[in-house]
Amino acid sequence: MLPSYILSLREGLEAALIIGIVLGALRQMRRRDLIMPVWAGAFSASLFSLLAAILLTHFGLELEDPAEAIFDGLTMLLAAGILTWMIFWMSRRARTLKSTL
């Protein structure tokens, strides 16, 4: 249980760092009108993440032995797929990111 909490803390710190970078960039570009939408998006994402975690945990705890293993495997495959897609998306974006900033 403790590793899950440590992982969540690390992910939360990474999210705070990214939000801070985005807010700093918006201030530097003098786009203060976009600060509230960034906070609204961060709050919405946090709420959605919490709700999804509660629902998936509740659903996962209800499963018995073979179904639980299938659920765990599918969840891991989904997470790996999302991370892979994000890596490819970021590598495509990185080519033009320097010129747009």
Per residue in 68-82, pLDDT (tens digit) is 889 889 989 999 999
Q: Whole-prediction pTM value?
A: 0.65
Work out the pLDDT band at 45, boundaries 50, 70, 90. Answer: very high
Predicted pLDDT at 86? 93
Opening angle at CA 45, ends 51 and 2, nearest 5? 60
Work out the pLDDT band at 101, boundaries 50, 70, 90. Answer: low
User: What pLDDT, in 10s, does the model give residues 3-22?
Assistant: 878 888 898 899 999 999 99
Opening angle at CA 58, ends 39 and 63, nearest 5? 145
